[in-house]
Amino acid sequence: MKVISLPVGILVPERRPEITFVLGHELQHALNNPAMQATHERFLEAIGYAAQMACDYTLAIRDHLAYQRVDEASANLTGWNALVEHVRDAYPQASLAHVVLKSWRAEDFVTPTRGAKMYAARPGLTIKPDLTIDPSPANIEAIGRYYFDKDPGHTKIGYLGTSDYLNLYGAEAVSQVAAFHRDYNDGQHPPPIMIINATELGLSRKIMEENGIDLQGQPTQPYLDCSTDPPRLEFLHHTITTHRHVPTDFQAPAPSAAPDPSVALARTPPGLSRTFTPRLHPGANLRRRAPGRGPAVDPRER
């Protein structure tokens, strides 16, 4: 069972606009939950497909993050509509300026115009005469840009308050990918290396590790970041209990078809078995993709 927890300090009359927005936001998440459960199942299918092909999990993670973006945008839209209804209960002829005065949350939806205390919808958003916003695809996309896509400095979420939404959900996604990849390739020596295009996904290993990566007790998980040329060998670290980024003070080259074990041993970080030798999956293609491009076959189209 899921619950909505509220700090005691918010339960005061002057905070009613905030609690109204937050409750609207969270209730929409609850309504979205069945659809999000289905998208999670598709995410697991996509991970399984990637593991069988080239072990490049970029497309699976990208689609998963896109679903999270829609979920957050629709929730924020519902929060706005709840806030508008709250304001209009007190001021039936309320304008956007009234909503702005009641809550800083309005900044994600409106922008000042040249007139004194005049506001208009942000570009791409359509606000109706009653000030509510319909959950149309165009409005959801616009709210995604103004809310979900904000950089870490303006979002300030996560365990340390240093994250954006991409890296918050990205930490969960790479944790699941790493667990599946490890289990799927159990018994292979050496196992094929996991591949992720971090730049295409907008992910930062530092921020994800601060949010907390769960490697199920394993200290590290090697992966190949194919966003650079040549691709770069990196390591995720188990930080779900520490929330501390673990720097790597070495530059490891991409593994070749027949890597030199001595090179891998020399660059093995603390906590990783010194018998580790990275190996590319036979189907791996490390040519850098244009953003948004994935494998020719998507498991959802099978």
What percentage of the chain exceeds 70 in pLDDT?
78
Indicate the pLDDT class of residue 199, thresholds 50, 70 and 90. Answer: very high
- Kindly report the backbone phi and psi dihedral angles of residue 164, in degrees, each rounded to the nearest multiple of 5, phi listed first: -105, 180
Q: Which of 55-69, 211-225, 272-286 shows the lowest mean pLDDT across its residues? A: 272-286
Residue 163's SS3 state is strand
Q: Give domain status of residue 301, yes or no.
A: no
278 vs 206: which has the higher pLDDT: 206
Higher local confidence (pLDDT), 9 or 265: 9
- Containing 141, the helix (H) or strand (E) segment is helix 137-143
Assess whether 110 and 184 both reside in one domain: no
Residues 213, 271 within the same domain: yes
Does residue 116 belong to any structural domain of this protein?
A: yes
Residues 134 and 242 occupy one common structural domain: no
Residue 288 has pLDDT above 50, yes or no: no
Q: Are residues 140 and 169 in the same domain?
A: no
Q: Which residues contact 151 (CB under 8 A, 6 or more apart)?
A: 164
Residue 274, Cα to own-chain centre: how many angstroms? 32
pLDDT of residue 280: 53
- For residues 145 and 266, state if they share a domain: no
Q: Mean pLDDT throughout 111-130?
A: 90
Give the highest mean pLDDT range of 113-122, 145-154, 265-274, 278-287.
Answer: 145-154
Q: Where residue 1 falls among pLDDT bands split at 50, 70, 90?
A: low
Quick check: is 297 in a domain? no
pLDDT in tens, 61-104: 999 999 999 999 999 999 999 999 999 999 999 999 999 999 99
Verify that 25 and 74 share a domain, yes or no.
yes
Say if residue 95 is in the same domain as residue 20.
yes
Query: What pLDDT is attached to residue 267?
Result: 35
Collapsing DSSP to helix, strand or coil, 7 comes out as: coil
Does residue 197 share a domain with residue 261? yes
Over range 184-203, report the average pLDDT: 91
Check whether residue 198 and residue 246 sit in a common domain.
yes
Distance of CA 128 to the CA centre of its chain: 30
Please check whether residue 48 lies inside any domain of the structure: no
Provide the domain limits for residue 144. Answer: 10-36+60-149
User: Same domain for 207 and 264?
Assistant: yes
Residues 174 and 259 in one domain: yes
Please indicate, yes or no, if residue 32 is contained in any of the structural domains.
Answer: yes
Asked whether residue 124 falls in the same domain as residue 173, the answer is no
Within-domain flag for 43: no
Report pLDDT digits (tens) over 151-178: 999 999 999 999 999 999 999 999 999 9
Q: What is the DSSP-derived secondary structure letter of residue 287?
A: S
pLDDT of residue 191: 84
Cα separation, 245 vs 247, in Å, equals: 6
Domain count, the chain: 2
